[in-house]
Amino acid sequence: MAALELAMQALALFGLVLFGVLWLMHFMSIIYVRLCLHRRRSEVKQPFSQFNGVSLLKPLKGVDPNLVSNLETFFTLDYPKYEILLCVQDQDDPAVEVCKKLLGKYPGVDARLFIGGKKVGINPKINNLMPGYEEAKYSLVWVCDSGIRVKADTLTDLTNQMTEKVGLVHGLPYVADRQGFAATLEQVYFGTSHPRSYISANVTGIKCVTGMSCLMRKDVLDQAGGLRAFAQYIAEDYFMAKAIADRGWRFSMATQVAMQNSGSYSIAQFQSRMIRWTKLRINMLPGTVLEPVSECFLASLIIGWAAHYIFRWDMMVFFMCHCLAWFIADYIQLTGVQGGAPCFSKLDFAVAWFIRESMAVQIFLSALWDPTISWRTGRYRLRCGGTAEELLDV
């Protein structure tokens, strides 16, 4: 009985600590997006690297309904010195024709197309980008996924953050306004749960970077072995960021979000993507096993039980009130990331938020169940530490 009582006291203490940590994360992320995102150009600093040349590396595979419009935004950037390096793995990929049409439409833009890639490891994105990386002529490289769309001043915003001691500038991932409930679900996730963890980590000095839109110093990457050094990993963005940080460089976050605008999306695709990301985190960072307790419903149960045990408050009343407070904080967070009211109604937000929160534990358990992932056209078995091996059909 004494051991049981001690365990209950420890769980109650854990609940109180969890309450403090999670709400600190809420407040940090809400304050950050209000103060630091969507600033006007006149409000940002003008560093030495403002007009440094930038080599944009664009990995492409396949075509979706938004690819042409997304790619075209990079040809109309308002920046004095940059090149676009379009990389396509296969000659018969329909993205090749899209690239050729844009190259013909914008002959004044310094842009080239590389076809065929270069096999240097198991990571298909790195293999695809290698020819472009080897031909990059500027000191800054901008790796930006195919589903991203940008504003005319996005590159200026990125280079504004590349100050003297900064080695990597990244954008907070978000999702453009699109039609359908699957789009709303993605937007709710990338406007609530994801930025809460992403921003809190970066504010507290934990290096948390996604590779959707990253501006990096090429000489620092070369010191680490260039892109080929990261081809053994599936989560190459994490290990590139780690290599830059290990060499004493700081990170900075852009004031504009990395706007995802894929034309192909569904609830099943969203769920599959979340499971893949969770699998990668589990294999790279053992602390990921605690992720479920940072989700609203499970956290509210633990904290509600702690409040009942310590203060004799009604557990279910506390649970409902805590979930409501979380819901309101998430909506405030979303409007900050969006830069205003979202394109969907509050009812749509409530439904999408409830479904997303309900999926969280199931996604985590699915990630634990199977150590293999499917990405692009390959299947891979993950190993502890972040490396992987490709599974070949026989």
* Beta bridge partners of residue 187, listed in sequence order: none
Q: State the sign of the Cα–Cα–Cα–Cα dihedral 97, 103, 106, 111.
A: positive
Q: Give 360-365's long-range contacts (Cβ < 8 A, gap of 24+).
A: 360/193, 360/292, 360/295, 360/296, 360/297, 360/298, 361/292, 361/295, 361/297, 361/298, 363/271, 363/274, 363/275, 363/278, 364/278, 364/291, 364/292
The one catalytic residue in 145, 157, 237, 330 is 237
> Mind spelling out the 3-state secondary structure of 358-375?
HHHHHHHHHHHHCCEEEE
Task: Please give the Cα distance from 181 to 267 (Å, whole number).
Answer: 8
Task: Please give the Cα distance from 341 to 343 (Å, whole number).
Answer: 7
Q: What is the distance, to the nearest Å, from the Cα of residue 187 to the centroid of all Cα atoms in its chain?
A: 13
Torsion angles phi and psi, residue 128, rounded to 5: -65, -40
237 is catalytic: yes
SS3 80: coil
CA diameter of the chain: 79
Given a contact cutoff of 8 angstroms between Cβ atoms, the answer to whether 54 and 159 are in contact is: yes
Question: What are the catalytic residues?
Answer: 237
